[in-house]
Structure 1
Amino acid sequence: MSWRAVKYEILEWRRPGLPAVLYEAAIPALIGDLTPELSPDIAALAEGASFELVRLDAELAGNAAVQSLTPLVEAISSSRIEGVVATAGAVLAVELTGVGESDARAVAANRRATLMASNLPTIGGGGMQSVHAELVNGIADENPGEYRSRPVWIGRPGSSPATADFVPPASERIAGATKDLAGFTNRVGIPALTLTAIAHAQYETVHPHGDGNGRVGRALVHPLFRTRGLTRTTVTPLAAGILADPRGYVSALEAYRSGDVEQIVRFFAESILRGVHIARTLRRELTDAQAGLRSRVHARGSSGVWHVLDLLARQPVVTAELLAAHMGIAPTNAYRHLNQLAEAGVITPKHVPRAGTTWVAEDVLTLIDGLIPERRAGHTSPALSNAGARNERQA
C-alpha cells in the first residue's frame, strides 16, 4: 500500500578549513495519524507470525534456562548485524568479571539494554533515550541517551554525506519525529506486529543518536511486543532472524523510506518465524545438553552438585563467588562442587587475567554460538554500516 515517503532537503556539511559540501538529508514523514493497509497475504503472514510469538511465550513459561539465554542470543545477533562480534562465552565472562575485549563489552551492554527495553511500559517519555544510555555508557564515544547534534550517514566506510546511501534528518528534526513516533506506538486498532515493524523502520529512518541506532531500534521491538500482548516474559531472538538475511533487511528499510510498508512487515514476520524456530531449537538442544552433562556426574541425589548443573544451564560461565552466593554456601564448598564437575568433564576452569578463574560449560556455550547465523561478507550490505558516526568524529 502507499505510505508517506521520506522527502529530502539540501543541506551543507561544514568542516573547519574545508569547503562546504552539499548533501540531501531526509525529512521523515510524520506517521502518528496514519493507518497502514496491507494486502491479504501480508496481513495473514503477520497474523501467523504473531500467533507463533504467543505460542512460544507460553511454551517457554517457567523455563528459566531458555528465558535467560534468549536475550543473550538476541544481543549477540543484533550486535553482529552491525559487525560487532563476540562469542557467548566472551560476553558472559565480561558480565561476571568486567574484563574482556571491546566487542564482548559492547555485546554485554547490548544485552543489558535489551533487557531494560523489554520492561519499558512505553518507548516514549524518555524510554528510547534510556535504552541508548544503557547501550553506550562507558563503551563508546557518545553522549549516552542524548540526541545527536551533528549529521550522521549510512554508507561505506570513508563515505561522506554527499556519497552516502542515506543521510538521516537534520538534528533539529529529531525531537519532533521521535515524539510523533512515540504517538504512533500508542495507537489502538493497528495489529501488533504491523505496528512494531513500522515503528522500527521509522526509528531507523530518524536515526536519532550518533551511534547505536540499529541496536537500540531492535531492542525497542521487545517492549512493543510485550505491551501489545504478543509476549509476556520471553525475549524472542528476532535479531537472529534478521541476521539470516541482512540484504533483505536493508531492502525492506529502503522500501519503507520510499513509501512501501508491506516489505518491512513481511520481513519482520519472516524474521520472527526464524527467531521462534531458533528459540525452540535452543530449548530442545539445551534439554539434550543438560541430560548429557548430568549423565557424566555420579553423586548422591541430595548432593548440591545437581543444583550447580541447573545453574549452568542458564549461566554457563560461573565463578566460585557467584556459585557460593547463589547456593548460600561457603566459597570452599563452591570450589568442591566445581572441582567435582571439572573432573567429570562438565566444566573447564579458565583463568581471566586480572579477574581470577571462571568455570565454563563448553557444551552449552557451543550450542548457543551454533544457533546464531553467520554474518558472511558476501551477504552483507554497506547500508548496514553507520559510517557517518565514525567519520564525523574523525572530521
Structure 2
Amino acid sequence: MSVTLKNQDQTDLLLEQVQTALAQKYPLAICGGGSKSFLGHSVQAQTLHVGQHQGIVDYDPSELVVTVRSGTTITELSQALHEHGQYLPFEPAHFSGKATVGGVVASGLSGPRRPWVGSVRDYVLGCRVITGDAKHLRFGGQVMKNVAGYDVSRLMAGSMGTLGVITEVSFKLLPVPRRVAARRLSCTPEQSRLLLQKWQALSYPLSGALYTEEALHVRLEGGHSSVTQALEAIGGEVEQDGFWEQLRELSLPFFKDARPLWRVAQAVDAGQVSWPGDALNDWGGSLVWLKSDAPKQEIHALAEQQGGHATLYGNATESGHYAQLAAPLMKFHQQLKDRLDPARIFNPGRMYPGL
C-alpha cells in the first residue's frame, strides 16, 4: 500500500515568527515532535513549533537522495523510503512515531548500526536553515561541499537547535540489505571482545554488537551468501524478535530502570571499566548505556579516562546535560553561535550556558 505523507510548507510562518522574536528580542525554544526533551537543559523561551512543517520536497530513488521538510516524522519517511527498498542507514529512533527529521539531525543521535555505516552527520548532504538574522539559507545541496569555510549542513548535526531552525534536510540513502539475521552467544566480556576482533578481521557483515547479561548479541546484514557464511561460523542462538528495534528505541527492559540513564561514548580500544551501576556495551564496546545513581562528576571523570564523554539523559526530576567542553572547544562553539545566531534567540542554554 502506498504511503501518503502530509505536505505542509510553513516556511513563511516560521520566518515570520523568527522575525518577530528578533525584533522583540525574546528567545525561541525549537520543538518538532518533542521526543528529545530528555536531552540538554530545559529552555525558558517561547516555543517555535516546527512539527507541522512536513512533506517530501524531492525524492529520486535512482539517485539514492531524498529532501524532506524537518517536521516530517522519521516513521513516515522510513515507510515512504521502504516502498522503494531504501532506508536511512544510521538507524534513527522513532520514539513512538514522534521523532522528526529536524530533531534527528539536531540531536545527532544514531542507532546500533552507527559504527559500521556512519553517523547522522555522514548522511546529511545539505539543508535549509533559518538563521538568527531571520534569513532562510540553503547550505550544501545534493552533493557534498563546503560553504563559506564551514560545512554548515553537517554542523547542524548535534547542534540541538542552537545554531538555527532546520527547515529541510537532504539525505543520502542506501538500499535495504538483502538479508538480516541476529544471533545471541553466551560468553564473558573478554570473550566477546576477542570474538568481535576476529569477526571484524574476517570482514563479517556485522551491523550491530551489544554485550549484556553474559551474552553477546550480534546482527548481520548484507547479501544472502555473505550473511549465511558468517552465520555458519558464528553459531549461537536465534535472537528474540524485535530485539534490535527495542535497542534502537531504548525500550529493552534495561532502560525501564528508574535510575538516571547515561550515554557514554568511549574510545574503541578502551579497556574494561567497573561502572558504578548497570551497563550495556553497545557499538562493539565503544558506547556504554549506564543506569546509575552515582554523582555526575564521577561518571564524567570515568568517561574522560576512557577517552570519551558522558551525556545524561534526563529523567522525571532533572534535565539531561552534556559533558563540559574544554576552553578551546567552547571558544569555537561561541564563534559559531556569533556567526549564525548573534542575537542568541535559538534554544539558549540547551547545551551549554551562553550558547
Q: Same fold (TM over 0.5)?
A: no
Q: Which has the higher contact order (CA 8 A, sep 6+)?
A: 1
TM normalised by structure 1 equals 0.28
TM normalised by structure 2 equals 0.30
Greater strand fraction, Structure 1 or Structure 2: 2
Structure number with larger C-alpha Rg: 1
Greater helix fraction, Structure 1 or Structure 2: 1
